[in-house]
Each structure stands twice: as structure tokens, then as C-alpha cells.
Amino acid sequence: MSRFYSHLFIACAALPGLLAPLAGWAQAGTVYRCPGPPVLYTDALTADEARERGCRTIEGAPITIVQTARPRPAANSASAPAAGTSPATAAGRPGDPKVDPTAQRQRDSDARRILEAELRREEDRLAALKRDYNNGEPERRGDERNFQNYLDRVAQMKAGVTRSESDVAALKRELAKLAP
């Protein structure tokens, strides 16, 4: 038993030496709040610099600072697009000249064609789902000896039909938004 206590004593004696770097790390980060039009939170000042600027120390919970990208200055709308870019590709940015009307018509027709193809596929899928659903009375399969399994499959089929109907309605709304 005395051997156990000697190991315990050695471990307890070494513990402060192991925790000292962590304690220094936790206390080293003094965060200052400095006044100004952009309020500044920093830990890069010495105590003298912080006092000169009128900064106060922040106590308590740590502060998380998220760096964001600075907004780019708006391009002058009278400027020409950069070399090597076409007017159609350069016109997608705010502040640039409008898109060429023929290019916009081409984009609209492509969008309409894609939406119409998607609508046809979804309507075919809906027709197949309704045919299988059979107005809530689909054919029972051999693996559905338990009636609850059959009811679960019918509920899934009904949810699929409802979801497909809402998809068709959404595609029709999108097509209605596009100019003919």
C-alpha cells in the first residue's frame, strides 16, 4: 500500500509542472476593447499601448472574432469589360452594363426548354405513381402477409404522389414566371 502512495505523491508533485504552461496560455490572452468608429477588439497591444489608446480589458468569456472579406469597390458602370472577357460573361456582375438582349433571350429559351423537359419527366413519374397507387388500393404483394406492412406501403405511395404533385405545381409556377 505504501508503494501506491509513493506513486501518488510523485504524480501530485509533477502535476503543477505539467499544468504551468496551460495556466500561462490561459492568462496570456488579455483582450482589449479600444474605442473608435470601428470598435477594435485586440490582444496584440501591451498594457501601456492600451492605456494610451483608452482601451479597456475584457473580463469573462472568451471572444470569437470572425474575419470577413472586405467588400470590393463597385466597378464603374461606364468602364469596359476586362480584356479576354465577353460582354455577356462580364455583365453578370453588379454595376456592369446590362446583358445583351439576344444573349438574355437565349438564356430564357434555354431555361424554358430545361423546365419543360423536367416538367414532362415529373408528369410521367406522377402518372406512374398514380397508376401504382390505384386510388388508395394498390395490389397486395406476396411479402405483405402482415396487413400493417401493406398499410405502410400505401402511406408511402400516397406521400410520393403528393410530393410529385407539388413538384409538378412548382415547375408550372416557374414556367409561368418566364416570359413566353
Question: pLDDT tens digit string along 163-175?
Answer: 999 999 999 999 9
58 and 106 within one domain: no
167 and 112 within one domain: yes
pTM, 2 dp: 0.44
Give the single-character DSSP code of 145: -
157 and 106 within one domain: yes
Average confidence (pLDDT) over 117-131: 95
Give domain status of residue 109, yes or no. Answer: yes
Average confidence (pLDDT) over 52-57: 87
pLDDT at 37: 77
Give domain status of residue 2, yes or no. Answer: no
Domains contained in the chain, number = 2
Give domain status of residue 144, yes or no. Answer: yes
Of 12, 39, 62, at which residue does a domain stop?
A: 62
Query: Which range of residues forms the domain containing residue 156?
Result: 99-177
Q: Are 41 and 32 within 8 A, CB to CB?
A: yes
- Measured distance CA(139)–CA(150) in Å, rounded: 9
167 and 114 within one domain: yes
